[in-house]
Structure 1
Amino acid sequence: MRDQSGIPTALSIAEERLKKVYPLVVLALFGVALIVLYRQFHTLDLQAVSAAIVATGTSQMAWAIGLTAAGYITLIGYDRLALAYIGRSIPLPTVAAASFVGYAVGNTVGLSALSGGAIRYRIYSRYGLDAADIAKIALYCALAFSSGEMLSALFVTAAEPGAATMLLPLSPGVLRGLAIAALVAMLAGAFFLSIGGLSFSIGHFHFRMPEWPLLASQIVLSLADLSLASAVLYALLPPEAGISWIAFLGLFVVAVAAGVLSHVPGGAGVFEAVMAAGLAGSVPHASLAAALLLYRLVYYVLPFFCAVLLLGGMEWRRAHRPSPAIRSGLSTLTRAADIPVAAIPYVLSATAFIVGAFLTVTSLFPFRGLASSAFLETAPVEALELTAIAGGSLGMALVVLSLALGKRVREALYVTVALLVAGAVVEMVRTQSWTVAAAMLVAALACIVSRDRFDRHSRLSVDVLTPQWLMLIAGVACAGFFVLFFAHKDAAYSQELWWQFARDGHASRALRAGTVAAAVALSGILFYALRPAIGRIEAATVDDPRVAGIIAANDNADACIAFSGAKQILIGPDGRSLAMIGRHGRSLIALDDPVADDG
């Protein structure tokens, strides 16, 4: 916020300082969540978790995948209701594609630069929606989800108040009565305000309560959304879990709210910490850890990977222009969904980050239970060392490059493709996991197919040294430290560990792999930080008499914009011309042509 002279106000200065502190707060919350998880699972053996994952039944996985599909179909309703709220109509296939891709990316990554909101903007703006309309859609979806969380919490407390007694020092009967009263008051108040047509303003945006049919649909939709999402994790719990679904739903709502409020990307760590603390006495630790890992895979990673395939398929269809016979065989979604190509760099950037984080973290795990038994028993020790170090360094390099990829830098795309292919080779050699290697190769293929969308020929360091980017790298480092201490907690640390090269030297190998990965990250940060400083320019002020003289002698009324103070002013060498410029990153951008003395 600026005053009329263009000078930043105290509020704008406070906002800028808050933006700088915000990543540190988020990183601290993520660190606290990892500490809670370590205390909950520090006695757990990784082999027990692997056994629990293998023991998860096929029917459980089928239910989880089916409920996930139903949940993402339900999420389409948020966009449909939001569009109805602002009085706009967009074809259903396009809304479905925007909702699915937006939520698949937003749920997994959770950052504004890579979020579903940015993707929705690029989809809906093609249908005439401006930034204000899309802001209203985003706010409507957020409020609808928040109201669903509150209603779900009240409903659970009314149905089974026993779980709430752990948080509030009240008897179950009192809690049930308060929950019912609050539930009735909330619903009655919402419908009363809806019928009365209440409106309010936030800044420059004007909002009104939705009409009661829309409000009723919103309430049902939000309850269904949370119920289906919680049912996915509940289906993955072992049959001997000693908790009812109603009580589980209440804990799930609290965990989701904690993840959202923490602003940690995807709620990673925070959600798991709350669920682990709440279910510690009801579910065996190994089964609980396995269920949480599978839930992340099914509800977050699987839809995200499907979104990558969808965008890659759309881009391939645009590039190859298949024959009418092939086009007629495509699904309605693929034919009608008008997914803009501008969304592709965002999704591929998130893909590179996720794959990089996966490679970095898994390089720190013990080879037993991770590597194939044949490779672990027959491969030379040098090969074991090389694959561990290669996995960590390739992964961290992908993390470092991910933001440059999101900025459509062509050189970043080429390097990312090479890293993904190399990562797939490392995974095949180390784990002989065709699934993981194939996923990396598909991501590399999606990058190649979409290469025309990366049209910026710039340095890999273009505008990436930001607090948010540093937070991402620090977050991956924190996750790596967590895995290192958790997976090798039985190994007593000594200086000799660094120099032990043995087939069963898992802790030594992890230390070296982590050190190399950290060196790659540090090298990337130093490369960006030690770039030549942005040169300072000698700009004139609006009080300079030459500025007023040049503008007065010019017939263009737009030249008076210089008096607003919003732009820097450069005076020409002859003192008879000026240019209004603004700085964006490392570039100076001029506003229109220079203003010159017409006389």
Structure 2
Amino acid sequence: MTLFDPAQTRPSLSRLKTIWPIVLGLVLFLMGLWALHHLLASIDVRQVIVQIKATPWPTLGAALGATALGYLALVGYDFWALHYLGKRLPLRTVALGGFLGYAFGNTVGISVISGGAVRYRIYSAAGLNAFEVAGLSSYIAVAMGMGLTLVGVLALAVHPAALAGVISASEAAIRLGAIGISALILGGAFWLSVTGRALRIRGFEIAMPAPRILLGQLVVALFDSTMASLALWVLMPEGTPPFASFLAIYAAATMVGVLSHVPGGVGIFETVVIAALPAGVPVGAAAAGLLAFRMIYFLLPFALAFAIVSINEARLAGGWAARIFGEISEPMRPVMGGVEGVAPRIAGIAVLGLGFWLIIVALMPSLSQRIDDPGLVGAILAEGGTLACALAGVLLIVLSQALVRRVQLAHSLTIGTLIVGVFAVLADDLDTESAVVLGLAALALWPFRRAFHRQAALSEGGFGPIWVALLAGMLASAAMFFFLAHEATPYTNALWLDFTAKSATPRALRAGLLVSALMLGLLLWLALRPSRSFALTPDPDQDRAVSEILETQDTPQGWFALTGDKQVVFSSERDAFLMYARRHGLCAVLGDPVGPPEPARQLAWDFHERARREGITPVFYEVSTKYLPLWIEMGYALHKIGEEAVIELQNFSLAGSKYKTMRAEQNRALREGCSLEIVSPPHDPALIDELRAISDSWLAGQKGKEKGFSVGRFEPRYLNHCELALIRRDGQILGFANLLGSPGAQHFGIDLMRYRPEAADGVMQFLFLALIEALRDRGATELSLGLAPLAGLSDRVSARLTSRLGNLIYRHGGSFYNFEGLRRFKQKFRPDWRPRYVALPPGTSPYLALTEIALLISGGARNLFTKD
């Protein structure tokens, strides 16, 4: 049996929604790169590097001080966002989450997503749920955008000359317009804050926090932007405009960089700043200042964050790190455990940057000849070092995506490649600075080894459109650097054959050819690699293996793997499984993966990568909040599909006035001779035949045929795995339900609930109440009454269209399914309502996915509303 059949795959238009922003970002990056190349055409790369190294220590100190104060202000965003949400966390937790979030988000770009993922790991460990962290990240993004806009406009009000040469308006008009816009922003924000009203713009709703929080947030925003701008301004050469004018330039360049969606605004930010500087400012000196600013304000905090996470990993493992830095305190241990989940992504980004740096080193002209007459050995070492730098750089770039996916082999290979890189840069040009950086990176990466546990191939998955765009952007950047660095060298065919130790340009030319060949080859392989499928042979021991796992996991939903209408995939150690069904190009997994956390997570990753590699859309249906970090890490979007009703058995009681009617009905049923009997499998065939007759009569009165996938079917093979709850009266069976859970379990669920039509009045209520009492006496803690589809969805104007449409169907779809009546019936038992979601990969339409799942459950469109 083949799990994925390429013949059944078909391209989806929704994939274009995933690709076009990536293509647009790449195009904008290349345009910015082209503009930057023209602006820097007259500079000498050697002089730029020399100027950076010659930066006075007081200037560096001022830039470092401004950067430190800027990141302190950035943490203030998190502080006020938590106040806005009404949450209180220890200050050290907020400082850790804020710093790591910004250090990661500022470097990678799209801070609300990349930084938000880091915050989720830390703040969720401190007690916040996924929606609160999402709200915090969104609040920060809006606050930063508003603050940056306000800073730029106020700077123009003070120094309108900053844009007088860019737009055709007088300085007085620019100042007046800037003052008016500032007053509008500040006045409108405080008016909304004081009155508590919300501003609605084309379906979007904007509300302001309380005046105290708003004022604190504005102070943070002004201070943050001012310090970041100051860190760059002190590094710029003479002739740069006064700080107030430069602040407007910085704000405009940052906003353009953010809007471009290019990671970190690389190339775009620099182009805008250089273009806005007066004509008398030396372009080479400005480029040196911008490059130094990138290293100080972006790379240095990221390196510090990388070191913090590395030390944290070592402290969690115990040993020397715990002795040197001390044990992690108990209050901070959950938070530091959350930081552990960030390690693979931070390691991947760090290794990606180091790989690109090694390529640049290979293409860089020699800054100094440290050996007067190196001879043949020196020439061989220089040539080999340059080519080894190029090869190691490309290898690190490839390994970085495997590190993000937690592949075990990638960790050891990366450390080995970094060590090779140390010797390569020393042989290339005695580059001790780069050698120290690579050596420290290898040491910092070593404690991360526990985070890389997946036994997967390095080339499996991970190479999607984003990676293609990233490789293309890196290749273009390397080409631009090469032409800038060696533009003064006239080209001749003899360059290819010059192998002397002092010939830096020919070595860089050959290294560039190697890099181009390797990266273009990788891009070609990604584009043309054939579709492969793997076969899943029938497993005669499948039910037994599933039952063994269920005995240890106590997961009621996992019992649906025994219904016979789904495929089951096991982990490599057969200690975890997930169940799925196919329909056209969709592969729908039911519920969370079942098993211990680590094998379950790895199984979900493996399944995702197999499906995407074969062109199938993987969808996880009816997932809980248990693995929310996993879905976020995999890039899935979650859409709420309903709420599960769970009764806490030990706290349930019919005492009190609110249960007066139910108590009276239950007592009446008992007086009439109703009783509950729970029978264990295997079941008598005569009993199964009697229950089949009840099931058939019940189905005859329902809309549609027997369902499947997310609910059980009346199948003797399935029922013989389950305990059956029978309602009898005078010996006759009135109704029944099968229990999901082993006899000694703590958590139970109910699947099939069927009864004789003549006994419909109150039989299910009696079943639930009697079952609650019986399971409570066993010592069980929870009983799930199942999902209430589309319940609890938001109907706000600003909510997702899927939520509003689902809410509309929930309230008015009684002709198709009694959604509201089902929830109302379950609400009588006062359950704990727990959200359930469908997790969709990027670019997947929720409407198409849910339609296919609905048809999967019903068995086809003809079975939705027709009877047998």
**1:123 Cα deviation from its structure 2 partner:** 1.3
Return 583-592 or 513-522, whichever deviates more.
583-592
SS in 2 for 1:490: coil
Corresponding residue for residue 126 of structure 1: 125
Corresponding residue for residue 86 of structure 2: 87
Distance 1:454 1:223 in 2: 41
Corresponding residue for residue 414 of structure 1: 412
Q: Which amino acid aligns with 1:340?
A: V
Distance 1:204 1:102, change over 3 A: farther
TM-score, length of structure 1 as denominator length: 0.85
Distance 1:29 1:437 in 2: 34
Alignment of 1:445-456 (within 5 A): 445-456=443-454
Determine if contact 1:411/1:460 at 8 Å carries over to the other structure. yes
Alignment of 1:150-229 (within 5 A): 150-199=149-198, 208-229=207-228
**1:252 Cα deviation from its structure 2 partner:** 0.6
**1:224 Cα deviation from its structure 2 partner:** 0.7
**1:214 Cα deviation from its structure 2 partner:** 0.7
Q: Which amino acid aligns with 1:569?
A: A
Corresponding residue for residue 441 of structure 1: 439
Alignment of 1:447-466 (within 5 A): 447-466=445-464
Alignment of 1:36-435 (within 5 A): 36-110=35-109, 115-199=114-198, 208-238=207-237, 240-320=238-318, 338=336, 339-367=338-366, 369=367, 373-374=370-371, 377=374, 380-435=378-433
Corresponding residue for residue 585 of structure 1: 609
**1:537 Cα deviation from its structure 2 partner:** 9.3
Distance 2:111 2:401 in 1: 12
1:569 to 581, 586, 589: 581
**1:65 Cα deviation from its structure 2 partner:** 0.8
Corresponding residue for residue 541 of structure 1: none
Return 22-31 or 209-218, whichever deviates more.
22-31
**1:28 Cα deviation from its structure 2 partner:** 1.5
Determine if contact 1:534/1:586 at 8 Å carries over to the other structure. no
**1:466 Cα deviation from its structure 2 partner:** 0.5
**1:333 Cα deviation from its structure 2 partner:** 12
Determine if contact 2:240/2:246 at 8 Å carries over to the other structure. no
Determine if contact 1:237/1:291 at 8 Å carries over to the other structure. yes
Determine if contact 1:388/1:509 at 8 Å carries over to the other structure. yes
SS in 1 for 2:363: coil
SS in 2 for 1:363: helix
Corresponding residue for residue 18 of structure 1: 17
Distance 1:292 1:332 in 2: 43
Q: Which amino acid aligns with 2:316?
A: R
**1:495 Cα deviation from its structure 2 partner:** 3.6
1:512 to 510, 513, 519: 510
**1:416 Cα deviation from its structure 2 partner:** 0.8
Q: Deviations over 1:239-264 (max 9, x none)?
A: x3341001111111111111111111
**1:557 Cα deviation from its structure 2 partner:** 13
Q: Which amino acid aligns with 2:395?
A: A
Q: Which runs of 5+ in 2 are unaligned?
A: 1-10, 537-558, 567-578, 592-603, 612-617, 622-708, 717-868
Q: Which amino acid aligns with 2:531?
A: A
Corresponding residue for residue 600 of structure 2: none
Considering only CA atoms, is the larger Rg found in Structure 1 or Structure 2? 2
Q: Deviations over 1:367-405 (max 9, x none)?
A: 2x1x65238856532222111111111111111121111
Q: Deviations over 1:256-314 (max 9, x none)?
A: 11111111111111111111111252422232121111111111111111111101111
TM-score, length of structure 2 as denominator length: 0.59
Q: Deviations over 1:488-508 (max 9, x none)?
A: 112233444323323343332
Determine if contact 1:579/1:593 at 8 Å carries over to the other structure. no
SS in 2 for 1:168: coil
Distance 1:202 1:514, change over 3 A: farther
Distance 1:408 1:189 in 2: 47
Distance 2:210 2:619 in 1: 46
Question: How many residues are aligned here?
Answer: 559
Q: Which amino acid aligns with 2:104?
A: V
Distance 1:560 1:199 in 2: 52
SS in 2 for 1:460: coil
SS in 1 for 2:303: helix
**1:584 Cα deviation from its structure 2 partner:** 2.2
Determine if contact 2:123/2:335 at 8 Å carries over to the other structure. no
Return 127-136 or 205-214, whichever deviates more.
205-214
**1:453 Cα deviation from its structure 2 partner:** 0.8
Determine if contact 1:372/1:432 at 8 Å carries over to the other structure. no
SS in 2 for 1:373: coil
Distance 1:450 1:20 in 2: 32
Corresponding residue for residue 704 of structure 2: none
Q: Which amino acid aligns with 1:276?
A: I
Corresponding residue for residue 633 of structure 2: none
Distance 1:181 1:64 in 2: 33
Distance 1:471 1:376 in 2: 43
Distance 1:145 1:516, change over 3 A: same
**1:438 Cα deviation from its structure 2 partner:** 2.2
Q: Which has the higher strand share?
A: 2
Distance 1:227 1:112 in 2: 19
Q: Which amino acid aligns with 2:279?
A: G
Q: Which amino acid aligns with 1:598?
A: E
Determine if contact 2:67/2:227 at 8 Å carries over to the other structure. yes
Return 243-252 or 206-215, whichever deviates more.
206-215
Distance 1:208 1:92 in 2: 26
**1:362 Cα deviation from its structure 2 partner:** 2.0
**1:129 Cα deviation from its structure 2 partner:** 2.4
Distance 1:242 1:407, change over 3 A: closer
**1:13 Cα deviation from its structure 2 partner:** 6.4
SS in 2 for 1:585: helix
Return 383-392 or 344-353, whichever deviates more.
383-392
Distance 1:558 1:71, change over 3 A: farther
Identity %: 32
Return 154-163 or 12-21, whichever deviates more.
12-21
**Structure with the greater relative contact order (CA < 8 A, sep ≥ 6): 1 or 2?**
1
Q: Which amino acid aligns with 1:263?
A: H
SS in 2 for 1:340: helix
Distance 1:25 1:440 in 2: 33
Distance 1:265 1:208, change over 3 A: same
Distance 1:502 1:435, change over 3 A: closer
Distance 2:212 2:514 in 1: 58
Q: Which amino acid aligns with 2:54?
A: A
Corresponding residue for residue 4 of structure 1: none
Q: Which amino acid aligns with 1:252?
A: Y
Determine if contact 1:428/1:434 at 8 Å carries over to the other structure. yes
Distance 1:596 1:227, change over 3 A: same
